[in-house]
Amino acid sequence: MRSLLAGRVRGGLEFRSYVQTVDRRVVNASLPKVVVIPLAWGRMEASHPVVKPGDEVKEGQLLAKPASVLGTPLYSSVPGRVRDIVPVSLPEGEREAVILDLAGTFERRAKDRTSDWADMTPEKLWKRLFSSGVIRHGNVPLPIGRFLPPPGRKAEALVCACFSAEPWRYTEELLLGLRREAVAEGLRILVRTVMPKEVHLVFPEEERTVSRLFVRDLGDPGIPVRIHHVARRYPFTSDEMLLELVGGARLTWGRLPVDEGFVIAEPSTLLAVRDAVVGGRPVLEQVVLVGGDVVERPVLVKVRLGMPVFDLLSQEGTMPGPDVDPMVFLGGPLSGREVSWLGVPLLPGVDVVTLLGRGATGGEEPCIHCSRCAQVCPRGLEPWLLHEALGRGDERLLSGGAIEGCIGCNLCSFVCPSAIPLADRFREYLEKEGEGHGEG
């Protein structure tokens, strides 16, 4: 089929893909001695703890209940003892968290159930996913209430983004290759849950064999399935660009796909959906890719939720030599968050930890009006002009709505020869405006 992107987009950048350098096996991480489970992160309401310091907990035991569907139930990823419930540092700031010390024994997990989920109502499936703590993966993990329409309400379309065009975010396409049939079953379950009018499958343009095999495994979901092969051009697999290209909807700052009636899911999310419904298991672990230009052997690692980053990087082959002081990102190098404290926990939904060498960079310089930022902007904005408007406090230009079109892809900052953190400045302005007017 013709590329979804042909003749319909502008801007963006193509980066060299290193996906072939990643080991195709999944390595089980050693168990962490301490697990940190934040009660909220990202765009999620805080859950309320149902345990207290000193309590002994089993693997899979409920730790915190959400006040609404805009939060998520949280479970213990290991057996242990509650050390404390205190604020911890996350990339976005301090959040309350349950601190667990590993103790006790693991119970043997039951095999997948044989119940036929096709007989379950959409409402029952929705509640099963919510109660299991399923969230949507990505750089901004979303709870069920911000990821799926309310129970019983149909979605316009379900989009499966089978890869990411961002450098080092290869987890999704690798998981699809390793567990293709399970991903297909997760997609069928989600179709049953949100009852979309159609399904869109988005693959790299060079992976036509993979797409044929996946469609074969998917079978007939009873609605149209549209296949798109796209270039590995960042950020054209972001939510904002996928919605424009698949459904014609335009997301502005603060809006989510579900606000426009769309559901977007990745293979890792679909695996969590499948395991929750077929296996009856809460979300306790996830697969994380450790990669980057200073990682000798990029590897997929299955980790317990709440494992500190330093425990992940202590796994054999994941950390560069002692003479290397890398930048560490939770997420991809462009859309993720850099962390300076390696005690930060691996949050549910984080699918990659990227380690990059520290290049020789100078300080911020004045804009030279080269327009490189405008050339790569996928929304057709002129970041240099908006940045000058911010500096002048030009509300006439800023209130025109253009800056709300920023999707935070960071390409403008990446290409700027003056090292101006354009995307950070726009994000700070938009977050301040959101606080002042109240986000819907």
Domains and CATH numbers, the chain: 1-29+112-357 (3.40.50.11540), 372-437 (no CATH)
| Residues comprising the chain, all counted | 440
In this model, does residue 109 exceed pLDDT 80?
no
Q: Is the pLDDT of residue 96 over 90?
A: yes
Report in angstroms the alpha-carbon separations of 166 from 79, 391, 410, 414.
36, 30, 11, 13
Distance CA 171, CA 163 (A): 8
Q: Are strands 198-204 and 225-230 parallel, antiparallel or unpaired?
A: parallel
Residues 245-292: tens digit of each pLDDT: 887 778 888 889 999 999 999 999 999 999 999 988 899 999 999 999
Tell which residue, 323, 316, 321, 319, has the closest CA to residue 342.
Answer: 319
Prior bond of 149 cis (ω within 30°)? no
Q: Looking at residues 134-149, what average pLDDT do you find?
A: 87
pTM (2 d.p.): 0.92
Question: Could you give the 3-state DSSP secondary structure of residue 229?
Answer: strand
Q: Which of 378, 426, 155 is nearest to 251 (CA)?
A: 378
pLDDT exceeds 90 at position 84 = yes
Q: What is the pLDDT of residue 43?
A: 83
Question: Residue 436: pLDDT band by 50, 70, 90 thresholds?
Answer: very low
Quick: pLDDT tens for 200-244.
999 999 999 999 999 999 999 999 999 999 999 999 999 999 998
Average pLDDT, rounded, for the chain: 89
* pLDDT tens, residue by residue, 281-337: 899 999 999 999 888 889 999 999 999 999 999 887 677 766 778 899 999 999 998
Q: Look at residues 423, 162, 171, 128 and name the one whose alpha carbon lies nearest to residue 302.
A: 171
Residue 114: is its pLDDT beyond 80?
Answer: no
